[in-house]
Amino acid sequence: MRKPVPAVAEENVSDIHVVIAAYNEERSIGDVISQLRRGYSNVIVVDDGSSDDTSKKALQAGATVLRHVINRGQGAALQTGITFALRRGARVLVTFDADGQHSVEDIPAMVAPILDGRAQITLGSRFIEDSSSVPFGRRVLLGAAVIFTRLTSGMQLTDSHNGFRAFSREAAKQLDIRLDRMAHASEIIDQIRRSRLPYLEIPVHIRYTEYSMAKGQSSANAIKVAADYLINKFME
């Protein structure tokens, strides 16, 4: 069993900015933000051109809300939120999903290595500890993504496509997400490798609910995402 990580010290809380890309998440975003706001004062939501009440619910729950006027994709929304958080003076940036799959309780373990200088980047992994809650189809897809990442970028990760990440200010400044949609996950890994900054994988728990599965990525889309990434990589 993992040793429990103590809560983030009071004096560090305002250094942490949680960035959430959200697309049509009116059903989950309010709860996600309310839980975050119990421990973290800076929660930034980028409403990625939603056609529902995502912005309204996020504001009501206490987030700072930015809005894309059209739907640009999760990569673009994250870059918007990261740029904004840096302008606001963030010292640690956490990327977190809007669909309720990530756990607020995992944030202290994600930010601790950055706050104490052991790493500049932490990447959440659902496969370091008990991963029995990951559905079979997702396990196969994510396993393929890990091999794909090893072949294309040489990075040996256990979970290459987990949206739960944390960056020091210096590391976040080096990010330049250009792939607007889901291929940004592979692009970020390439940029981490190129930056040579120290990173760590941290065990996190990812929740799979009927809602998240219905809203999430289809397996067929994975091929499109991989092609998007490869085309851009070889055009560089």
Ligand X SMILES: Nc1nc2c(ncn2[C@@H]2O[C@H](COP(=O)(O)OP(=O)(O)OP(=O)(O)O)[C@@H](O)[C@H]2O)c(=O)[nH]1
| Both structure tokens of 66 | 């930015």
Look at residue 109 and give the partner it binds from Mg ion, ligand X, none, a contact being a CB closer than 5 to 8 Å depending on partner kind.
Answer: none
Q: Which of 216, 222, 230, 233 binds Mg ion (CB under 5 A)?
A: 216
H helix intervals, the chain: 10-13, 29-37, 54-60, 74-87, 107-115, 136-153, 169-174, 184-195, 210-215, 219-235
* Residue 149, both tokens: 């990442």
| Residue 23 partner contact from ligand X, Mg ion, none using kind-dependent CB cut-offs of 5 to 8 Å | ligand X
Q: Is 99 in the site for Mg ion (CB under 5 A)?
A: yes
Smaller CB separation from Mg ion, 14 or 209: 209
Largest CA distance in the chain: 46
The listed partner (Mg ion, ligand X, none) that binds 108, CB under 5 to 8 Å by sort, is none
Q: Measured at CB, which residue is nearest to ligand X?
A: 216
Question: Phi first, then psi: what are they for 123, rounded to 5°?
Answer: -120, 125
What is the closest distance, in whole angstroms, from the C-beta atom of residue 172 to ligand X in the complex?
A: 18
Nearer CB in complex with Mg ion: 156/209 = 209
| φ, ψ at 187 (rounded to 5°) | -60, -40
Helix (H, G, I), strand (E, B) or coil at 96: strand
Nearest residue (beta carbon) to Mg ion: 216
Minimum distance, C-beta of residue 59 to ligand X, in the bound complex (Å): 16
The residues binding Mg ion (CB under 5 A) are 99, 101, 212, 216
